[in-house]
A and B are shown apart, each in its own frame.
Chain A
Amino acid sequence: MTDADYEWYLRTDLSKYSGKWVAIQNRAVVAVDSNAGKVIDKFKKLYPKKEPIITKINTRLSIL
């Protein structure tokens, strides 16, 4: 686990992935999907030995 990816996430505008789940690795978005399970599957194909880092990008003004 690296803090670099978390710090990169905090300062990066990811709004172009609105409505999608993204997986992050080495300060970059490496997988995108509307389905959380699928984005984990895509990540694991790219990085079988790494722990996925995922988040949902929400650009709507929200009440959940």
Chain B
Amino acid sequence: MTLFCKFKKEKLDDGSYTLRPKIRVRLFGENISTQIYALLDTGCDVSVIPKSLAESIGIDISGKKGELFGFLEKTDVVESYARIKIVGRSKKESNLIKIPVLIFDNEEDENAVIGLNGIFDNFDINFKKASDRIVFKQAVV
């Protein structure tokens, strides 16, 4: 199975623009599912979601506590898992996969990032910025 996503052109505070690999993900909780357009970040080991999102859709937040180290900062997190599908163009979806997620609680700066673990184990991913495509191929394992 092959899925195609695109880069999102985003305007920055200084008036310039950047292209970011914002992919469409369906995130399944015990209560509801939601679609998120989230950054696919190859510099992030694990996917990260805010506590308010996890609680809202029903993802377990009672897991082992840990720390996430970023550039010049550290964040307290809780380890958990999420069930997701990658959604490509023309509504084409990947199989349901279970990925590790870290849940953090910082109401002043919430964000969601799709990281390496679980994602790059299940897909061969080709970033084609020049042709505005991100290609996901279900990996044969």
Report the separation of the CA atoms of residues A18 and B108 in the bound assembly, to the nearest whole angstrom.
13
- Is the interface on chain B under 10, 10 to 19, 20 to 34, or 35 or more residues? 35 or more
Chain A residue at minimal CB-CB distance from B36: A54
Given A1-B91, A58-B111, A64-B44, verify A40-B33 contact (CB < 8 Å).
Answer: no
Q: Is the CB of B41 within 8 A of A64?
A: yes
0 or 1 for each of A31-64: is its CB under 8 Å from B? (1 = yes) = 0001111101100100000011111111111011
Report the separation of the CA atoms of residues A52 and B27 in the bound assembly, to the nearest whole angstrom.
10
Residues of A within 8 A of B52 (CB): 35-38
Q: Is the CB of B91 within 8 A of A3?
A: yes
Report the separation of the CA atoms of residues A38 and B57 in the bound assembly, to the nearest whole angstrom.
11
Report the separation of the CA atoms of residues A57 and B125 in the bound assembly, to the nearest whole angstrom.
24
- Which of A10, A13, A53, A57: most chain B CB closer than 10 A? A10
Q: Is B83 an interface residue (CB 8 A)?
A: no
Shortest C-beta distance, B119 to chain A (Å), equals 15
Q: Is the CB of A64 within 8 A of B34?
A: no
Report the separation of the CA atoms of residues A53 and B9 in the bound assembly, to the nearest whole angstrom.
18
Given A36-B56, A59-B10, A61-B18, verify A52-B113 contact (CB < 8 Å).
Answer: no
Q: Is the CB of A53 within 8 A of B35?
A: yes
Which parts of B35-94 form the interface with A (CB within 8 Å)? 35-39, 41, 43-44, 49-53, 55-57, 70-71, 87, 89-91
Could you list 15 A-B pairs, sorted by A, with CB under 8 Å?
A: A6-B89, A9-B37, A34-B107, A36-B49, A37-B52, A40-B34, A51-B26, A52-B35, A54-B34, A54-B36, A54-B37, A55-B22, A60-B12, A61-B18, A64-B113
- Give the top 5 A-B pairs by smallest Cβ distance, nearest first: A37-B52, A37-B56, A55-B37, A36-B53, A15-B11
